[in-house]
Amino acid sequence: MTCNLEKRIAEHKRAKYKGYTSSRLPVELVYSQEYLSRYEAYIMERRIKGWCRKKKEALIKGDFESLKELAHNRQLLIDSKINNNI
């Protein structure tokens, strides 16, 4: 999350901060979205990080039909687990 995307990408490319991204250089920005508040951006970042790889790939490609289907399939799985535990 950043207010200056170009600066943040440059910091990642220089491995300014040690961590996950610095050990996987070079990096390439594949998706970004603007939000009205830092809170909204934070919530969406946390949500996307919890998604499966296929769902993230659908978002990157802009494949919103697959994104909806993957979300629906996940909900069916959750509902099934809940019903089996009752």
- Rounded Cα gap, residues 74 and 24, in angstroms: 29
Question: Does this model's pTM top 0.85?
Answer: no
3-state secondary structure of 82: helix
pLDDT score recorded for residue 40 = 95
Per-residue confidence of the chain (86 residues) as pLDDT tens digits? 788 889 988 988 888 888 888 888 888 889 999 999 999 999 999 999 999 899 999 999 999 999 889 887 776 666 666 767 65
CB 30 within 8 Å of CB 15: no
Write out the two tokens for 1: 């999350």
pLDDT score recorded for residue 86 = 58
